[in-house]
Amino acid sequence: MERRHGLILALDVESGERALEVCAQVAEHVDAVKVGYPLVLSSGISLIRRLAEQLPVIADFKVADVPHVCAAIARIARDAGASYIIAHGFTGYESVRACAEVLPVFVVADMSHAGAEEFITPVSDSIARRCLSIATGIVAPATRLESLRRLRGIAGEKVIISPGVGAQGAEPGSAIRAGADYEIVGRAIYCAAEPGEAAARIAELTAAALAERGREA
Amino acid sequence: MERRHGLILALDVESGERALEVCAQVAEHVDAVKVGYPLVLSSGISLIRRLAEQLPVIADFKVADVPHVCAAIARIARDAGASYIIAHGFTGYESVRACAEVLPVFVVADMSHAGAEEFITPVSDSIARRCLSIATGIVAPATRLESLRRLRGIAGEKVIISPGVGAQGAEPGSAIRAGADYEIVGRAIYCAAEPGEAAARIAELTAAALAERGREA
């Protein structure tokens, strides 16, 4: 995906119809849309193709299975029109590789919820180091800027996409200033009265943070 | 599910039509069927309802997300007719609880592939201990009998379901003798020329192992 705004829409809406509507409203202000299992299971996998006509689609399937099942899931996502897939790294290198042989992968290195601290955060750096060579990038939450800065150091030239911006608490632009390449925003856009305007407003902030980082570099 | 045979069919076939056909052939020899994302994504979530008319369905979605997404996935599985859901414990207690509030959960404590040794196996016991109180049981592979025996000790009266039997190498009955309550068999049944006969043959072995354990207890 071309980084114009540094902004990805998490399209966690209830219906396929609403997803297409919001996608059309925000298309010029975001670089990609991220869709998860709740929407895909309830609307059917064919929704991805229709969204992909407007924007690159990241299949946020947090794949966490044995390698041959990972590969099967990635093939279905690719054949449906997704451009990227999100996979967990805690199931090991071979599981991530099975996805990466089919579609570019973002590996979950850390997560935004409190429960991530039990088992994932302690091995975040190891997961990133183990899987980065075969990944397009990693997922690291904007709600943990310390972790994000550390992972930026590990990730080198790889892409970091960062959820947790907006309704989950992080300010737009904050993750990019800490080293993310894209911020992922959901409710602050799709729950807004005017999703297009909300996306435009947030995209200004993420693009400004990108420009700021560019000047510093 | 009523434990008559100690046998669950992993229905990892390619099409919904084939899934229904195999399910009908084996229904009297297995206690439940387990379906995963590849089949559900390609056939549509409504397949679960049709399978559930024949046997209890375990949705093997290896849920590994933030709590509110876990809950959304579990609701879709329940509304589609699934009786159980499989979730990772790696994402923490709250994520498992979000599923458990909707459907009975089996928590993945260990996995059968080599990559599990990187991050999961080192914390298998901790995952089981952390999540067991809210789970119906755990998933522990028949390909690692030492781990299975240890997890049996931790699991107490909770149910253990055990994949890896048949094509993946473990002998039918071996996991039950090591402490599992159900063995999960896929290819050795659905790839057989006569799936019904294969299931009957394997069910004899798992039922015999259950009876043997019953006499010892």
Alpha carbons A32 and B182: distance in angstroms, whole number: 43
Asked if B40's CB is within 8 angstroms of A44's CB, the reply is: no
Question: How far is it, in rounded angstroms, from Cα A105 to Cα A93?
Answer: 12
Hey, what domains does chain B have and what are their CATH numbers?
Answer: 7-216 (3.20.20.70)
For chains A and B, what is the number of CB pairs under 8 angstroms? 119
CB contact under 8 A, B119 and A12: no
The secondary structure of B105-128 as a DSSP string is: EEEE---SSTTHHHHTGGGHHHHH
Please report the sign of the dihedral spanned by the C-alpha atoms of residue B22, residue B24, residue B30, residue B36. positive
Note whether A67 contacts B115, CB cutoff 8 Å. yes
Rg of chain B taking only CA atoms, in angstroms: 16
Task: Give the pLDDT confidence score for residue A168 in this predicted structure.
Answer: 76
- Whether residues B41 and A67 touch (CB distance < 8 A) is answered with no
Could you list the active site residues of B? 62
* Phi then psi dihedrals of residue A176, to 5 deg: -65, -40
Mean pLDDT of residues grouped by 10 in chain A (217 residues)? Answer: 92 95 97 98 97 98 96 98 98 98 97 93 95 97 92 95 87 95 96 97 96 82
A149 CB within 8 Å of a chain B CB: no
Mean pLDDT of B19-24: 97
On chain B, the residues whose CB falls within 8 A of the CB of A111 are 66, 91
Instruction: Write the pLDDT tens digit of every residue in B126-158.
Output: 999 999 999 999 999 999 899 999 999 999 999
Residue B199: predicted pLDDT: 97
Q: Using the beta-carbon criterion (under 8 Å), do A115 and B123 form an inter-chain contact?
A: no
Pick the residue of A34, A45, A65 with the most B CBs within 10 A to test the interface with B by mutation.
A65
Optimal mutation site among B61, B119, B125, B130, interface A, most CBs of chain A within 10 A:
B119
- Is any Cβ of chain A less than 8 angstroms from the Cβ of B153? no
Q: Which among B37, B64, B67 has CB closest to A73?
A: B37
Mean of all residue pLDDT scores within chain B: 95
E strand or H helix that includes residue A65: none
Q: What is the DSSP letter of B69?
A: H
How far is residue A15's CA from residue A20's CA, in Å, rounded to a whole number? 9
Question: Taking CB atoms and an 8 Å limit, are A91 and B123 in contact across chains?
Answer: no
Q: Using an 8 Å CB-CB cutoff, list chain B residues near A73.
A: 37-38, 41
Does the beta carbon of B88 lie under 8 angstroms from any beta carbon of chain A?
A: yes
- Using an 8 Å CB-CB cutoff, list chain B residues near A45: 41-42
Residue B214 reports pLDDT greater than 90: no
ipTM of the complex: 0.96
Note the helical H segments in chain A.
Answer: 16-26, 37-43, 47-52, 67-80, 93-100, 116-119, 124-131, 145-155, 174-177, 187-190, 195-216
Catalytic option among A50, A62, A149, A213? A62
Shortest Cα distance from A217 to chain B (angstroms)? Answer: 34
- Write down the pLDDT at residue A217: 65
B117: contact with A, CB 8 A cutoff: yes
The residue length of chain A stands at 217
pTM, two decimals, is 0.96
- Burial (0-12, 13-18, 19+ Cβ within 10 Å), B51: buried
A119–chain B Cβ distance below 8 A for any pair: yes
| More confidently predicted of B176 and B112 | B176
Closest-CA distance, B116 to chain A, in angstroms, reads 6
Min Cα–Cα distance to chain B from A129, Å: 12
- Interface check for A115 against chain B (CB to CB < 8 A): the answer is yes
Amino acid sitting at position A145: L
- B45 to chain A, any CB pair closer than 8 A? The answer is yes
Check residue A214 and give its pLDDT: 79
Is residue B180's pLDDT more than 90? yes
Whether B102 contacts chain A with CB within 8 A: no
Determine contact: B118 vs chain A, CB below 8 A. Answer: yes
Q: Which of B110, B106, B131 is nearest to B56 (CA)?
A: B106
Answer yes or no: is pLDDT of B216 > 80: no
Distance from CA of A192 to the nearest CA of B (A): 20
Position B25 pLDDT exceeds 70: yes
Identify whether A158 is a catalytic site residue.
no
